[in-house]
Amino acid sequence: MSDGPTYGFDTLQIHAGARPDPATGARQTPIYQTTAYVFRDADHAAALFNLQEVGFIYSRLTNPTVAVLQERVATLEGGVGAVCCSSGHAAQIMALFPLMGPGCNVVASTRLYGGTVTQFSQTIKRFGWSAKFVDTDDLDAVKDAIDENTRAVFCESIANPGGYVTDIRALADIADAAGIPLIVDNTSATPYLCRPIEHGATLVVHSTTKYLTGNGTVTGGCIVDSGKFDWSANDKFPSLSEPEPAYHGLKFHETFGPLAFTFHGIAIGLRDLGMTMNPQAAHYTLMGIETLSLRMERHVENAQKISAWLEADDRVEYVTYAGLPSSPYKDRVKSQYPRGAGALFTFAVKGGYDACIKLVNALEIFSHVANLGDARSLIIHSASTTHRQLTPEQQEAAGAGPGVVRVSIGIEDANDLIADLDQALSKASA
């Protein structure tokens, strides 16, 4: 698309990054199912490998189908560039990779997907990294957790599983004052409901598996670069500010400016970590994004109706949906999430753990799966599945206690979903 008019979200979700195929005129982005690309000549090959020219070399690094997806997600998020990879978990490691080193830490929210808590509390120790978990609603605790070895603050815009909404601007101000980036996982909100870069985030990560694709077919991840962070302002980020031996002393920030993080993600991250998104996955995600705004509107509408019904039901102790008038986050939703609080939340069933298990087993329309963001409505008992590896204290802090179930409300008929919950709650409370 041209750089002239400013297009609306509904137009960009269909057209951004995509152009008719120059060889055939095909209107839909083709699946470029190829491993490698023919160079024009030896000089062309050398220029590509030396980062003097942008192009396609090998599909571990770059692929035309994936490139369209990268441009589309970056455009929707308001970033300068993006790097797609094999999963949301891969995106998190890819985001941290240029920032961290042995002895460095990341300050992370306690309200994160259970797999992310495990990745940050256990797996990254193998790299010599560490994480400090804090309640990001306690801004003083966030400030106190940052030390000279902290290289990033990490949070989710709409936290999984509880659907809590984060004050991104407040965290961005703290990160800016410390001279470090704020990384926001925007999976549950999508850029339709929230654009973290507009609120001060440096990097945005996605599990494209979820709402962006929206049909439960493929896994994928993406890191979006705001292009606004000064990687050379201090000595904390040598991978981006200092000479890179593998490219004859090239300095990524000096050479690529606002696109330094994006180029590093491809030239170093994908080159060496190999967390590549395959072109067929990119194709499915591109098709999903074409209807993102339409789906998110229905997701939010259904979640609003169903959460209100659950909150009024005597068999339910509480509901965490941030879009409810009773939510402590209602003002934050209005200011940072004006199109709605998403479709992910938890509710506590009277009767605790056993009642939750009965409920999950009795549902007919809701699918019992370890996923979210599907067009279908999904449910899971987080304490016994996605958050099982955590301690009871960590489960409670994440909003995934034993008496709680997580729901991802789909785009079916809301009355049918309520009827399904009604009959399942009757069996759970019998």
CA atoms within 13 A on the CB side of 393: 3
Domain final position from 238, 262, 288: 288
Separation of alpha carbons 281 and 292, rounded Å: 16
Are residues 69 and 205 both part of a single domain?
Answer: yes
Are residues 113 and 200 both part of a single domain?
Answer: yes
Are residues 166 and 179 both part of a single domain?
Answer: yes
DSSP state of 222: E
Are residues 54 and 189 both part of a single domain?
Answer: yes
Write down the pTM of the prediction.
Answer: 0.94
Separation of alpha carbons 157 and 196, rounded Å: 8
- pLDDT tens, position by position, for the chain (430 residues)? 555 568 999 999 999 999 898 889 999 999 999 999 999 999 999 999 999 999 999 999 999 999 999 999 999 999 999 999 999 999 999 999 999 999 999 999 999 998 899 999 999 999 999 999 999 999 999 999 999 999 999 999 999 988 999 999 999 999 999 999 999 999 999 999 999 999 999 999 999 999 999 999 999 999 999 999 999 999 999 999 999 999 999 999 999 999 999 999 999 999 999 999 999 999 999 999 999 999 999 999 999 999 999 999 999 999 999 999 999 999 999 999 999 999 999 999 999 999 999 999 999 999 999 999 999 999 999 888 776 777 777 777 777 788 999 999 999 999 999 999 999 999 999 8
Contact between 399 and 166 under an 8 Å Cβ cutoff? The reply is: no
Separation of alpha carbons 307 and 159, rounded Å: 16
Q: Three-class SS of residue 147?
A: coil
What single-letter amino acid sits at 90? A
DSSP state string for 24-59:
T--SSPP----SB---SSHHHHHHHHTTSS---SBT
Residue tagged 């929230």 (tokens): 194
Separation of alpha carbons 63 and 268, rounded Å: 16
The domain of 363 spans: 293-429
Q: Three-class SS of residue 401?
A: coil
Are residues 251 and 109 both part of a single domain?
Answer: yes
Are residues 196 and 218 both part of a single domain?
Answer: yes
Can you give the CATH number for the domain in which 190 is found? 3.40.640.10
Can you give the CATH number for the domain in which 371 is found? 3.90.1150.10
Residue 4 forms part of a structural domain: no
Count up the domains in the chain and report the number: 2
Q: Rounded to the nearest 5°, which phi and psi values hold at 6?
A: -95, 110
Separation of alpha carbons 189 and 182, rounded Å: 17
Give the residue among 370, 394, 365, 395 at the shortest CA–CA distance from 380: 370
Distances (CA, A) of 302 to 21, 158, 329, 369: 38, 17, 19, 19
What single-letter amino acid sits at 257? G
Are residues 329 and 225 both part of a single domain?
Answer: no
Separation of alpha carbons 21 and 27, rounded Å: 7
Are residues 329 and 414 both part of a single domain?
Answer: yes
DSSP state of 227: S
